[in-house]
Each structure stands twice: as C-alpha cells, then as structure tokens.
Amino acid sequence: MRTLLVDGDAYIHKIAWVYQGVDNVSSDARKMEESIVSLGDYIEKARLRSGCDDVIYCLGAPSSSYFRKEQYPPYKAQRKDVKRADLVPHLRAWAETQTFKMKPQLEGDDVLGILQTKMVNTVILSTDKDMLQIPGLHYKNSEMKYVSVEDADRFFWTQILTGDTSDGYPGCPGIGAKRAEALLVGITDSAEAWRVIVGAYEAKGLTEGDALVQARCARILRAEDWDFKRDTFKLWGL
C-alpha cells in the first residue's frame, strides 16, 4: 500500500483562486460545489498517476500560530495583509471531511515532513520547493522524483544560509545560492556543515544563536523533530 501525502493548504489556495475568478465572486453555491469537485478530481488524478492507494491531506494549524513565529516574529509577517480567496474556508472544511492530519503550531509542510519520514511507502504531492528538505518520493509536475537523505540535508543547510524571502526570514546577509553551494561543497556531515554555517554568520558579525534562529525557521520538521509521546515538536538543535 502506498499513501499520497497532499500539501492540502497549497492546493486548497490554488483551487480557491481559480474559482474566485476575475469578478471576485465565489460565494454562490455553484462555484462552491465546483471547487470541491475540482480539488477532489485533481488529487484523485495525482493519486492514480503516482501509483498510490490512499490519500492523506496535510493541513496547517488553523490559527496560524506557528512555532516559527515564536522563534522569529517577522516570520511570514509580510503575508498578514495578503487577501485570502473567499473559498479557502469552504475547501478546507471539505478537506477535513477526508482523511487528514493536522497538529497545533505546525504548518502543513511540517505534517508532510513528519509523516513522510515516519511512515513507510509514501509520496509527497506539493509544489513547494521547501519540501526538497524531506527525503523520499515526491510527485511533482507529473513526474516522480526521489530525494536522498544527503540531498535533503544539503537543501536544508543551503536554506539556513540563503534564507527565504517568501517566508520572511533572511538567512545570512550577502549569501545567495551560489555562495552557499561553494561553502558547502564536498560536505556530507551535519556537524561539519553547521561549523561552516556558523562561521559564515560570524564573518558577518552575527552569532551562532542568530544562525540557530534561522535554522529553526528553515527546518521542515521530520519524524526525529516530533515527540510522539508528548505530541509536540522538538526545536532543532537541542
């Protein structure tokens, strides 16, 4: 049995905006029903094409009180005034009638990462590049891709250095993708990578603590970052 892990938030917003339309009218019953059918059909086609038997929708906590904001208050602050499509709550309510997973203070990405690294025989369906931090099978753009642990770790290390403007955390000042790649070339050990990362931050007059905050913003949680007994997250680096 293979399970498709769906980035529920991403596809809910995508379909909601399709049905919002240029007239910004999305509250009528016809559009509401059509949007549900469209979302369900899209995921079902992906399930079949990826060779999966089951689907789990992975959703972010509804309050948006994500733990990263406690670590770094500017995290995603630039999105607070962005208008949300009217159909988002409607589609989310439907997704919650399906098989879904959600945890307090976690984003949907974290739920995806935890399940992919905990369960056996899963596939992630997401358009988010951040999911390349998670090893295993990914179905994207109608193609199956395998991400090794080594590649997933390297993507995480890179994001600590480069940051992510779309998520509102800056990384290490002055370091882009090419510079990060050069700093990390040939490194396969996490401890060594961390020494290089901290060194880059210190060279800019920052501290290991600054690097750690950025790492916690960047890190998509895996099973090792979740306390299953207490049902809560573990901050990376502790």
3-class secondary-structure state, position 7: strand
pLDDT (average), residues 61-83: 86
- Amino acid 82: pLDDT: 75
pLDDT (average), residues 36-49: 97
pLDDT (average), residues 162-186: 97
pLDDT at 121 over 70: yes
Task: State how far the Cα of 125 lies from the Cα of 166, in Å rounded to an integer.
Answer: 20
Phi, psi values for residue 49, rounded to 5°:
-70, -25
Per-residue pLDDT tens digits for 86-107: 899 999 999 999 999 999 999 9
Q: Name every residue whose Cβ is closer than 8 Å to that of residue 215 and which is 6 or more positions away in sequence.
A: 160, 197, 236, 237
For residues 210 and 27, the model is more confident at 210
- Amino acid 63: pLDDT: 77
pLDDT at 206 over 80: yes
- Looking at the chain, the whole-number percentage of residues with pLDDT higher than 90 is 87
Domain ranges, ordered by start, for the chain: 3-148, 150-218
Q: Name every residue whose Cβ is closer than 8 Å to that of residue 150 and which is 6 or more positions away in sequence.
A: 188
Find the range with the poorest average confidence among 38-47, 69-78, 151-160.
69-78
Alpha carbon 159 to chain centroid, angstroms: 13
Task: State how far the Cα of 117 lies from the Cα of 112, in Å rounded to an integer.
Answer: 9
- Amino acid 177: pLDDT: 97
pLDDT (average), residues 148-161: 98
Find the range with the poorest average confidence among 19-23, 83-87, 225-229.
19-23
pLDDT at 238 over 70: no
CB of 198 within 8 A of CB of 211? yes
pTM: 0.94
- Amino acid 229: pLDDT: 95
pLDDT (average), residues 99-125: 97
Per-residue pLDDT tens digits for 5-38: 999 999 999 999 998 865 555 567 888 899 999 9
Q: Decide if domain 3-148 falls under CATH 3.40.50.720.
A: no
Confidence of residue 181 (pLDDT cuts 50, 70, 90): very high
- Amino acid 24: pLDDT: 53
pLDDT (average), residues 204-220: 98
Q: Which CATH class is domain 150-218?
A: mainly alpha
